[in-house]
Amino acid sequence: MMKTYRIAVIPGDGIGPEVIAEGVKVLNRAAELDGSFRFEFVTFPWGCEYYAKHGKMMDDDGMEKLRSFDAIYLGAVGYPGVPDHISLWGLLLRIRKEFDQYVNIRPIQLLDGAPCPLKDASKADIDMLVIRENSEGEYAGAGDWLFKGKPEEVVLQTGVFSRKGTERIIRYAYETARRLNKSLTSVSKGNALNYSMVFWDQVFEEVGREYPDVKTYSYLVDAAAMFMIKQPQRFEVVVTSNLFGDILTDLGAAIAGGLGLAAGANVNPDRTYPSMFEPIHGSAPDIAGRGIANPLAAVWSASQLLDFLGQERWGKAVLQAVEQVMVERVALTPDMGGTASTSEVGDKVVSVLAASVAAK
Ligand code: NAI
Ligand code: MG
């Protein structure tokens, strides 16, 4: 019997719809070439335009609507005219939080043909998987603002590190390192953050006792930032907090091909709720509507989606197709030095994918 994956598509704002269309094209082609599964996409028109019409970022029963899907595929959220804290919290962060997508997975892998600002770095040097805590930590939204506007004004931003939240992300990272047979590096800051990060380091050690086969390293975040540039080969699987992960993965995106290529998955490993796959770039209002956005980040996140669904063979094939498109340099968007349109790049990925299957 043909397996059907039901995917909720939220193209969102700006270049979101432009790049997501190409990802959908690639997913459909992979399913067609395989023949044993198919996709059913349901598109939700939520985002800033929706907000302008309805005064909210999504339907009132939006979360219930999303709940039954196998996964969510999201473009980008945010556009001038709607404050970013409204658009982000009203849609993206709401889904991450309510669906308990506590793992953020960002592959930082230098593909052949990808632009890299590091002089001597090779493909073997930049190949890491960053696992970022995605539900609490520095982004828990806890704190206070006292005596607003007065001379004695005080602002508190509290990091929240629960035992449950810290253990589960660290355990997930150990499991991943074990499965991939790679080392695991924890990035923290125990010398300065004398509660949260001392606790983090302690949990990293405690959980590690159950994984004696996994080789571990522990770095302070400032040193880690330096090593990611100077000796990126030190890192294989990396686990870190919400804030540190946010910053380090942008650094990672910069050394592995730039924003036009970086993908991220928001995963609920227990599969109680759907997980969400997205390019990490935003809606790029400066180039929106011109058909020149790079769709490769969205395509890479489609490859992560295929992995998550258990179609790893296709996830890998899609990533190899992205690589070949960059090596051939026939169809690339302007940010990668080419002249192709968004859909021409998507068409090229699809044709490379089909050719790679025919060659087997
Ligand atoms: P951005 O990622 O949209 O753009 C930064 C720069 O990179 C721009 O010059 C843009 O043209 C370029 N760029 C980004 N993606 C590209 C692509 N696929 N191809 C070619 N060039 C690309 O970040 P920015 O400008 O800070 O944010 C714009 C809006 O997006 C804001 O409303 C922000 O809140 C939102 N945003 C949403 C995110 C999400 O939905 N996950 C993530 C980041 C920002
Ligand atoms: Mg970020």
Taking only the tens place, the pLDDT of each residue in 145-192 is: 999 999 999 999 999 999 999 999 999 999 999 999 999 999 999 999
Mean pLDDT of 56-72: 97
How far is Cα 140 from Cα 122, in angstroms, rounded to an integer?
37
Per-residue model confidence (pLDDT) at position 188 = 98
A 10 A CB-CB count for 5 gives 19
User: In which band, very low, low, confident or very high, does the pLDDT at 261 lie, cut at 50, 70 and 90?
Assistant: very high
Check whether 360 has a pLDDT greater than 80: no
Catalytic residue, candidates 215, 222, 230, 316? 222
CA distances from 47 to 16, 81, 109, 126, 304 (A): 10, 12, 30, 35, 23
Per-residue model confidence (pLDDT) at position 1 = 80
| Chain segment 263-308, per-residue pLDDT in tens | 999 999 999 999 999 999 999 999 999 999 999 999 999 999 999 9
Per-residue model confidence (pLDDT) at position 359 = 83
Per-residue model confidence (pLDDT) at position 156 = 97
Q: Which ligand is nearest to the CA of 93?
A: 1
Mean pLDDT of 13-21: 98
Catalytic annotation present for 5 = no
What residues are paired with 160 via a beta bridge? 137
> Which residues fall within 8 angstroms of residue 94, CB to CB, at 6 or more apart?
57, 58, 63
How far is Cα 118 from Cα 227, in angstroms, rounded to an integer?
12
Instruction: Give pTM, 2 decimals.
Output: 0.95
* Atom 15 of ligand 1: nearest residue by CA position: 281
Per-residue model confidence (pLDDT) at position 280 = 92
Catalytic annotation present for 201 = no
What does the block give as tokens for 17? 């719809």
| Chain segment 87-130, per-residue pLDDT in tens | 998 999 999 999 999 999 999 999 999 999 999 899 999 999 99
A 10 A CB-CB count for 36 gives 9
Indicate the helix (H) or strand (E) that contains 250: helix 242-255
A 10 A CB-CB count for 109 gives 18
Which residues line ligand 1 at a C-beta cut-off of 6 Å?
15, 19, 76-79, 84, 88, 92, 259-260, 278, 281-287, 293-294, 297, 335
Q: Taking Cα atoms as reference points, which of 183, 176, 168, 105 lies closest to residue 137?
A: 168
The atom of ligand 1 lying closest to the CA of 88 is 34
Check whether 141 has a pLDDT greater than 90: no
What is the CATH T-level fold of the domain 116-256, as seen in this structure? Isopropylmalate Dehydrogenase (3.40.718)
Torsion-angle region of 314 (φ positive above 0: left; ψ -120 to 50: alpha; else: beta): alpha
Q: What percent of the chain has pLDDT over 70?
A: 100
The atom of ligand 1 lying closest to the CA of 80 is 32
How far is Cα 124 from Cα 112, in angstroms, rounded to an integer?
10
Catalytic annotation present for 102 = no
Per-residue model confidence (pLDDT) at position 191 = 94
Pairing assessment for the beta strands 216-220 and 263-267 based on DSSP bridges:
unpaired
| Chain segment 214-260, per-residue pLDDT in tens | 999 999 999 999 999 999 999 999 999 999 999 999 999 999 999 99
CATH 3.40.718.10 residue spans of the chain: 1-103+259-360, 116-256
- Class level of CATH domain 1-103+259-360: alpha beta
* Atom 11 of ligand 1: nearest residue by CA position: 284
User: In which band, very low, low, confident or very high, does the pLDDT at 348 lie, cut at 50, 70 and 90?
Assistant: very high
Bigger pLDDT: 141 vs 243: 243
Mean pLDDT of 49-67: 96
